Amino acid sequence: MLLSRYPKEVQLKDGSSVILRPMTRSDEGQLLDFFTNLTEEDRLYLRNDVANVRVVRSWFEQIDYQRVFPLLAIAGEDVVGDATLHRKPFSWMRHMGGIRIVVAQAYRKLGLARILADELLENALDEGLEKLTAEVVVNQDIALEAFSRLGFRKEAILKDYVLDSKGVRHNLVLMIKDIEELS
């Protein structure tokens, strides 16, 4: 990861701006506030229980930019977006990465998710990754459309793969993007 390119100020569609920078140990409180302020529906499909202090704290205890590169979008003192690039640098999947993006409700439809995704794609390219994956619950139409616009294609649908926080099963769409498409 080219940490030297951050912090970076970016402009959103409405003319406002946010700062992009990697997460640091001092961001724990702001990130927890960000996640607990998401709606229950937003949190329903997230991979982790982000409202659990222990879950979020564990991320700060194990910061390793080579395995998970966490990129935050900051407006004022608040986290308004969280994007992560996940890698397994020492496994048979070391050529692949996975991305996850969450944006605060007030910052949706302003291009922030696209900006965060582009940053992660650029970092993935810098790291020599060949493919990126995104996992989306099948009924998250907006997320599916957004990843499609970024050049991800539906590779597989895993039936009843996700068990949400309410105990309901959902199909998971595995989406893939070949990085060489960026060049």
Segments forming the whole domain that contains residue 78: 3-134
Residue 152 lies in a domain: no
Q: How many domains is the chain built from?
A: 1
Nearest to 177 by CA among 155, 149, 152, 156: 152
Per-residue pLDDT tens digits for 73-107: 999 999 999 999 999 877 888 899 999 999 999 99
pLDDT digits (tens, 9 = 90+) for 124-164: 998 889 999 999 999 888 889 989 998 999 999 999 998 88
Residues 6+ apart with CB under 8 A from 150: 114, 117, 121, 177
Give 152's strand partners: none
CA distance linking residue 72 with residue 24, whole number of Å: 9
Q: What is the pLDDT of residue 183?
A: 44
Q: Is residue 72 one of the residues assigned to a domain?
A: yes
Tokens at 66, concatenated: 């080579």
Does residue 20 form part of some domain? yes
pTM exceeds 0.95 for this model: no
Of 70, 183, 72, 64, nearest to 128 (Cα)? Answer: 183
